[in-house]
Amino acid sequence: MNIKHWKERLNILYSTRPDFQYNYGEEEEVTTLAKDKQLLRIILDKKNRGGKTVTLIAGFTGKEEDLQELGKMLKMKCGVGGSAKDGEIIIQGDFRNRILTILQIEGYIKTRIIG
């Protein structure tokens, strides 16, 4: 057993198989889809937010850095705060129509408002 990998295996149970090899689960490199292929959905959300309204952009497929960049651009153009993580962008307030217009101008032509 290689000592440098013991921390990565802390939550693994003991195996009695003599030929057992631990799979460290190499992560796949995610590529960002082209803007015209992204299926973004714009949703108005109030759940679990203390009664505050947020605009949620879901369905982004790609690298986390590209998601962060798109989120930063939307926050800047709307003049509000928000966050971008786990394939979703959260913009504070109700900006559904403005975000739809911005995304379509930027080339995200398959963007739709849901609800």
CB of 89 closer than 8 Å to CB of 57: yes
Domain ranges in the chain are: 31-114
* Cα–Cα distance for residue pair 31/62, rounded to 1 Å: 5
Instruction: Output the CATH code of domain 31-114.
Output: 3.30.780.10
DSSP-derived pairing of the beta strands 54-58 and 41-45 = antiparallel
23 has a pLDDT exceeding 60: yes
Instruction: Give the pLDDT confidence of 25-35 residue by residue, as tens digits.
Output: 666 677 899 99
Instruction: Give the pLDDT confidence of 35-53 residue by residue, as tens digits.
Output: 999 999 999 999 888 889 9
| pTM for this entry | 0.74
